[in-house]
Structure 1
């Protein structure tokens, strides 16, 4: 099973929609959508893009908002959604009914928290998202900090979540860049040192940074996922006579490139064949996210 944490943005929603339209096998996929609102309209917008089962990450909502969302999810038309609760909600509302999924972030973990887990282990849901959040290496020290939690949660489904894509790159906008897929390396390390009967699943923030960007000039680029790395293929800022065709040509020239692999690759091939700039930064994000999800599903 593969879990991807996504933002409620057009680019990521489109990437999900194209998974289904293209016919990608998603039986081993559970998307986690970070929601910033709790209305039926928001749920309807999400459902237009993805009709399969999905978790709603409510880290940005307060307790009253979450209760409103819980009521909405009781409606028959919302049964494909479930809530991913932050562990803080469980701490603040110990009398609440049993939940199915919780998220524990690296900032939650301290000696007091470990003691609380020991005393309240029966209140912990069967599925726990252990979120390392942004990482810039395979994080040995962080693993050692969180390993006691994994040992305490043994027997439950544990999703090892992390994101290695930075908010910005240390190169100019027209320079390509390669970045190790530290998320996969971290998962492998955690798996190797965890109890042998641990139920561990891989999760990441797709090809989008866990650190939300706040403005900035759009870059002509595709974040393209390969087995060991992310390949940022770039062609400067999106202004004037920018060249998105060149970006797509570089990717299509890969020996492993296959236009039938996913919608993202098919779109790249269409740009090359038509020899014309297509899309916008939101669409280009969709290409990368769609490719990434398809690639991770193929690794399952």
Structure 2
């Protein structure tokens, strides 16, 4: 074989080898891939949308708000119960003291009333005896003078009785208001105590009038200096007592107004608390 043919044959052989190498490499690579499992995989990432993130945040916020609301509600209830228990205990203690005071005032009032009724009956009997004596008086001038004295004395007593009647009307009016507010759940304990005080003073005023009546009916003659002085003192004491009764009844009215104000404020606060709790619950939901 000539040299040129050998060179040509070598070139062809080299070309075949070069062309076959990539195919073999590809086949080997394919076989390797088929036989070897995939070692590296791209992980799946859970990407959340902005809406989903906001929804989860809002849900978390609602849960936290609900928990806070429940805790606040619990504390409110505990505080409310504590205040209620303290208030009820204090109210019970105050009511016991009020009842004791009212009982003492009532006992004193009955004592004064009994004394007044005795004096009044004595005065009535004496006055009837005086009038009968005047009728039997033969000296007409003397009888007329004595009759005039008795009439003047009775007129003075009537003025005191009129003042008592006016105070009684005011007392009954206040008593009606007390019963009305008491039926409505208002704490009228202070007003009731003041009313009992007013009733006692009123009985004392009546007793003073009865004492004056007994003194005036003791004789149809002109009143002596000592009796006159006693009558002046009794009149002043009666006027002072009537004034005290009037002031005490006014204080009872003020106490009723204050008690009613407290009742209305308490009701308004309860309504406001209930409204706030409802609004908080609505916002949370």
Same fold (TM over 0.5): no
Q: Decide which structure has greater strand share.
A: 1
How would you bin the TM-score normalised by the shorter chain?
Answer: under 0.3
Q: Decide which structure has greater helix share.
A: 2
Structure number with higher relative contact order (C-alpha < 8 Å, ≥ 6 residues apart): 2
Q: Give the number of the structure whose alpha-carbon radius of gyration is greater.
A: 2
